[in-house]
């Protein structure tokens, strides 16, 4: 398949992830949409690395996967704290940084 196929597929996956982040209000759905966006970027990295013959792109994908692992660990800890303090996972309740309670 040509390179454009992978680029457009990565773009579509990224924008579906953006759609999930903007329109969902459950913390888990937003979290997993961010994971999807990271994967779309990984796909584009791997496509460029493969088509250009530069192996550094694969190394970047590996590093992004490691960063995603640490992000998931911290994010799930934060979600558990949200559930513990607010008894809810609705992200609209967590707006104390942008408006007065």
Which spans of this chain sit near another protein (rule: CB under 8 A)?
1-9, 11-13, 15-20, 22-26, 28-29, 31-33, 35-36, 39, 42-43, 46-47, 49-53, 55-56, 58-59, 61-63, 65-74, 76-81, 83, 88-90, 92
Query: Residues 17, 33: contact at Cβ < 8 Å?
Result: yes
Q: Which is nearer to another protein, 4 or 100 (CB)?
A: 4
Q: Which residues contact 18 (CB under 8 A, 6 or more apart)?
A: 33, 37
- CB 41 to another protein: min, Å: 11
Which residue bears the tokens 């607010």?
A: 86
Q: Which is nearer to another protein, 92 or 99 (CB)?
A: 92
Q: Which is nearer to another protein, 92 or 100 (CB)?
A: 92
- CB 64 to another protein: min, Å: 10
Q: At what angle do helices 56-86 and 27-52 cross, to 10 degrees?
A: 180
The residues with which 90 forms a beta bridge, in sequence order, are 26
DSSP 26: B
């Amino acid at each position: 398949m040509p390179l454009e196929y992978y680029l457009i597929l990565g773009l579509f996956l990224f924008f579906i992830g953006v759609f999930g982040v903007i329109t969902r209000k459950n913390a888990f759905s937003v979290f997993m949409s961010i994971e999807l966006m990271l994967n779309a970027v990984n796909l584009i990295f791997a496509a460029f690395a493969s088509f250009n013959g530069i192996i550094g792109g694969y190394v970047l994908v590996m590093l992004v996967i490691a960063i995603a692992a640490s992000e998931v660990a911290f994010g799930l800890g934060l979600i558990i704290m949200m559930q513990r303090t607010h008894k809810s996972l609705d992200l609209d309740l967590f707006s104390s940084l942008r408006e007065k309670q």
